[in-house]
Amino acid sequence: MTDAIAVTRQGTLRGRTEDGIASFLGVPYAAAPFGPHRFAAPAPAEPWTGKRDATEYGPTAPKAPYAPPFDALIPETSQDGQDCLNLNVWTPEPGPGAGLPVMVWLHGGSFSNGSANSSGYRGDTFARDGVVFVGVNYRLGVDGFLHLPGAPDNRGLLDMIAALEWVRDNIAAFGGDPDRVTVFGESAGGVAIGRLLVEPRARGLFRRAILQSGACHHFVRPDTARRIGERMAERLGVPHTAEAFAAVPLPELVAAQGALSDEFRQRPDPAVWGDAALNGMVFEPVADERTLPGPDLGVDILVGSNREENRLYMVPTGRFGTISEGRVKRGAEAFGADLEGYRASRPDASPGELLDAIVTDWFWRIPAVRLAESVPGSYVYEFAWRSPQFGGELGACHALELGFVFDHVDDPDYAALVGGGAPADLARAMHGAWVAFAASGDPGWAAYDPAGERVTRVFDAGACRVEGDPRAAERVLWEGVR
């Protein structure tokens, strides 16, 4: 292991090189979002003199832990400290001139959990394959996404834009090409990219985008955002203002954030939570309406979902086998789904299987399809490998593809979902497609044509294949539905 040096606009970094790959960890891309910067748009990072140590992960955004059983399924990584607007870089060619493709990772976690510091998000496999990888930490929960009078909305999204601006200005020093940046993310990270695609300030900061299990569909309207903010203020016993929230001790604020999320999960009543109740997330970007980017986007798109996404939220909780016919009917009505159409396409499905199919389509698959339909030349995938965990009932659930995309299926962070013996060839195929797309804009199969075959690459064990419009009958059932 030896030192690696990179010179940024803020100062010189000292990272480390191991097995031919250099890493620079905890690199600040903006000022610490505390003190005068609390609940403000990100400010430029302070410069430094000398060589700044970049061999250890930096602080992560304040957050409450995942609720059981997800705390055991999705390991959480947390480091205390105020300089939480930082990023991690892996590169095979530290120093200017290499002109390598760049991939910027935005983690998931329902906009209230997660971090780029998780071991499963190490970028060494991307660097191994000729990519400069950047993982971004951004503000979460109250600090990043709660509506507060006196503060800008969507502060977590503003952090992402600041990180992409840092990449534009500095990535050449790490061997990257600032004109070949691919932003990719999963779940909340994918949803965030869906907003960045239509955000004027983000235009020109990336050339390609990969959206995994998240697209342009999910946000809260301003009236809902205000209602949620007021409810958080009531819980804290303070006025609903940025100034009042900034005076709340951080541990108390984080505890109240977790309690608000628990209250939301236990009773997601639309009368209380507005349109957030249907989306299933109490913290989300704020927007007036759903916006699709359209044919003049100028960004290459790869988008997709997992075949049985919603099983992550049904199987480990024990709900999957107890879903009643009445619950399926109520769910179909809430989402505007054609229940009889689903029964016709799945005549032998149990109530749990029907509800999973409906929610998976509404929340993940149909938004991906609609994005692909709106941007000509987009590529679509579906992840279909079924986990052996929970007696096989977990299926191709939400977040299962992550270890395959990162080619880290043996990382302990993925063990609870993936289990043992995951197919290494599938990981190589999926990871390789992501790398190829970042390098050339072509992941290795035909683009999705709404007027043609609607080509979709299905990733499955021993059977990665191309299909035309998987479950076309169910897709048609959603035409005209939000």
Which residues does the annotation mark as catalytic?
Answer: 187, 309, 398
Cross-strand partners of 52: 13
Q: Is 52 helix (H, G, I), strand (E, B) or coil?
A: strand
In three-state form (DSSP H/G/I as H, E/B as E, the rest C), the secondary structure along 176-209 is EEEEEEEEEEECHHHHHHHHHCCCHHHCCCCCEE
- d(CA 217, CA 289) in angstroms, rounded, equals 9
- d(CA 356, CA 350) in angstroms, rounded, equals 10
- d(CA 122, CA 116) in angstroms, rounded, equals 8
One-letter amino acid at 158 equals L
- d(CA 404, CA 364) in angstroms, rounded, equals 19
CA atoms within a 13 Å half-sphere pointing along the CA-CB vector of 404: 30
Find the radius of gyration of the CA atoms of the chain.
Answer: 22
- d(CA 69, CA 315) in angstroms, rounded, equals 10
Going from the C-alpha of 209 to that of each of 131, 191, 253, 256, the distances in angstroms are 15, 12, 34, 34
CB atoms < 10 A from the CB of 198, how many? 16
Q: How would you classify the pairing of strands 12-18 and 51-53?
A: parallel
> What's the gap between Cα 194 and its chain centre?
10
Alpha-carbon torsion 135, 15, 202, 277, what sign?
positive
